[in-house]
Structure formats: C-alpha cells, structure tokens
Amino acid sequence: MKLRIALVAILMLGLVGALTAQDAKPSGGLEIYSWWSGDEGPALEALIALYSSEYPDVRVDNATVTGGAGVNFKAVLKTRMLGGDPPDTFQVHAGQELTGTWVVANRMEDLTDLYKSEGWFEAFPKGLIEQLTYKGGIYSVAVNIHRAGVMWYIPDNLKKWDIQVPTTLDEFYTTCAALKTKGVTPLVVGEAWTLIHLWETVALSVLGPDKYDAVWTGELSPTSDEMVAVWDAYGKVLDCTNINEDAVGLTWQQATDAVVSGKAAFNVMGDWAAGYMSTTLGLEPKTGFGWADFPGTKGVFMWLSDTFGLPVGAPNPVATTAWLKLLGSVEGQNAFNPKKGSIPARIDAVDADPSLYNAYSLSAAAEWKVDRLVGSLVHGVVANERFTGDFNDVIQIYLESRSSTAAASAMQAFCAQDGACGM
C-alpha cells in the first residue's frame, strides 16, 4: 500500500514538472538585461509596456549597461554568467555571439519546444533560425533585423556643398578630397567599435560578398593579397575621417550628430541611426536624412539581429518564457521595430501593418527580401565574442603601424587563437 502511495506521489510530481514554464502564470520579478539605455531605449520600453499590460503581476527590471554595440554590457554580462548570477534574459546577437560564445559553453536553454508551440518555424526566415541553432537545438528569439554599413547623410547639406553620393570607392576618394577643401569632415567615426564597423563595411566593398563570407569560413586567408588590399583601402578611407581628431571620444549618437549638424558629410552606421534620427531627433526619412549603400556594396545587405534567450539557471523561467513569446509575436515585433530603426525578424509582421513603418524601414524591409545577405563581424554574426574583442587590437595595430601586412598577420593570429575565421 505504502509503495502504491509513493508511486502515485512520484507520478503527480512528474505531472507538476510537466507543467512547463510555458503553461504557468507569470509573476515575480523579470530582469531584462540589455545595452538599450537612454536614447537607445524607446523601442525596448514600448515592448516592456506591452508586456506589463499583459502581465501586470510581473515586476519588470529593465536593467541596462550603457555603451553602443554592447561594449560595456558584454563585460558585465560575462562576469555575471560565469559567477552563476545570470539575468532572466539578455540581449545577444544572432550567430556566433550566441552559439559560439554562450551555447557552446552550455549556458543557454534549448527553446525548440517554444518554436513548435508558437509556430515560429513558419514565422521566421530559415536562414535566421539556422543562426540561432547549435547541434539541433534553438537558443534564442529574434526581435529584429538591423542593417549595418549604411551610409547616412543630410540631403540639404550635400546640396549646399554641391556633393553627390559616391557609389564606388574611387568616387568616394574624390568626394573626400572635395569635402576637405570645404573644411568638412568627409566621414565621421567614433569610439573603437565603430572602427570595426567601418572595417567590415570596407572589407565587403573590396572583397564582394562571396569573398567576404570566405574570410569567416576559412576559405580566404586573412593574410591573402585580397585581405591586404582591404587594409590598404581601409587606410585610405580612414584618411577621410576624424580619426586623428575627436573620434575616440564620440559615441555613435555623437557621430550621427556631427552629420546632422553639418560638421561631417557622412557616417557609416547601422540603421539604429535611422531610429535615432527619426525617433529621437524627429527627422523625416528622405527629406530630413538620407541613406545610401556604402560605395561598392549595392545589392548586399550586411545584417545582424538582436535576440533574447533563456539562460541556464535564470531565476524566473515562467516570466521569461512569456517575454520571449511576446517578442516573437507580430504584436511585439510591431511595438518594437518602428521605434528602433530595425525591421521585424518575422516575415509576416510588416505586412500585418505597413503603416507603422517609415520610408526608411520599408525600403530596408524590401531589400532584406531580395538582397544578397552577409553577416556583420562587430555585431556578432560571423565570429565569436573573443575574436570580436581581439579585433580591437588588430585595428589598433593597424592604426599605430599603418602596415597592412602587420594587421593581416595579427588578424590571422587571433583567428587561430580564438577559433574564428573557420580555424
């Protein structure tokens, strides 16, 4: 008899266990960890407001560490994750930043069941899901697609200076010389990560998409002639910037401000700059600000995606799962993306209500469908976090030596050491 009771009790416990995070009612605290603070915050705040209206019993802690591209956030996150103090959920880029950093280290929960129950295999592009997948498991949910390497400008300023948008690198160098004679910085750069952002954009322009991809799969050596040529071009482009002036102290927003004020003509940045110019500065796309492909990159879309997952040991998996469901829904993506400058990762969200999106976002959404896609380095798609961090040193070596071959060998060494570039 006692044995039977024990068996029934064990069975019931099993049943309770089977009531997964997906079924239970969310309550308690939910720490959402990201680098979207200050004027990067409105899109996340809109999403959180929606969450709070659906789950009023959850106390949301919108925890942020300021710094573009997560430069400061990533260091703090690492300490917390390794110290056994994970947040409930955190911002992480699709691709190697997720899989090659946190998933290989067994720090993330597999979300495949959530993908099945939410119908996400049909809702998200296959190629994107692949970037969230490792050995058959899926480890995060994408809230957006950002485009990196876009060239931003102010149409009225270009008119005033009698400048056309350059479409090839050679045209860019000519434009650069013309702008310098007018006392205008041709291209503004900012703190360290924006230099990697510019490097990957120049690399795409010089190499083209196939060879750019080949760098990350190991088919094109970092010390090849083609890659040395990338560094040569990078040097010429840098000569058109404020690198020897105030670059180090500028955030990406301040670099954007320099374009808006007419101190500089162009900025190469991701389309969070569109979010900043429209949501924060109130400029209208097309008339207030303009955009173009970086010279030599037409028809190629350098993508990245912000995603959130469920870390192993997260304090409140029930509230986190509800958060992930919301950010993966049409409603969630359409609350977030119109303010962020990004487009929804879901394939059906823009069509659900195109009127939410401005002219820039609609053009990005159209190009995302037809362009050749390549992944961003500095925003986590093609290399793990160790390598991206070390690439700062490669840029530094180049800036100090101005030697393309020295930079190429340094890159090769870090690829080997960090297990990147197909090594």
Q: Which residues bind ligand GAL (CB under 6 A)?
A: 35-36, 40, 68-70, 146, 252, 270, 272, 304, 306, 379
Find the shortest distance in angstroms from Cβ 409 to ligand GAL.
28
Shortest distance (Å) from residue 275 CB to ligand GAL? 8
Nearer to ligand GAL, 43 or 176 (CB): 43
- Which residue lies nearer to ligand GAL by CB, 231 or 291? 291
26/67 with CB nearer ligand GAL = 67
Q: What is 399-415 written as a DSSP string?
A: HHH--HHHHHHHHHHHH
* Identity of the residue, 253 or 316, whose beta carbon is nearer to ligand GAL in the bound complex: 253
Minimum CB distance to ligand GAL smaller for 257 or for 306: 306
Among the listed residues 312, 308, 317, the one whose alpha carbon sits nearest the alpha carbon of residue 19: 317
The distance of closest approach from Cβ of residue 379 to ligand GAL in the complex, given in angstroms and rounded to an integer, is 4
* Distance in angstroms (rounded) separating the CA atoms of residues 77 and 96: 16
Q: How far is the CB of 35 from ligand GAL (least distance, A)?
A: 6
Q: Minimal distance in Å, beta carbon 201 to ligand GAL?
A: 14
Phi then psi for residue 397, to 5 deg, are: -60, -40
Q: How far is the CB of 166 from ligand GAL (least distance, A)?
A: 25
Pairing of strands 306-308, 290-293: unpaired
> To the nearest 10°, the Cα dihedral for 412, 415, 418, 423?
-120
CA atoms of 133 and 107, how far apart (whole Å): 14
How far apart (Å, rounded) are the C-alpha atoms in residues 154 and 259?
7
Judged by beta carbon, residue 179 or residue 260, the one nearer ligand GAL is 260
Residue number with CB closer to ligand GAL (44 or 176): 44
Contact 359, 76 (CB under 8 A): no
Largest CA distance in the chain: 95
Contact criterion met (CB below 8 Å) for 285 and 357: no
In the chain, what is the straight-line distance between the N-terminal and C-terminal CA atoms, in Å? 62
User: CB 267 → ligand GAL: shortest distance, Å?
Assistant: 13
Torsion angles phi and psi, residue 178, rounded to 5: -65, -40
Could you give the 3-state DSSP secondary structure of residue 29? strand
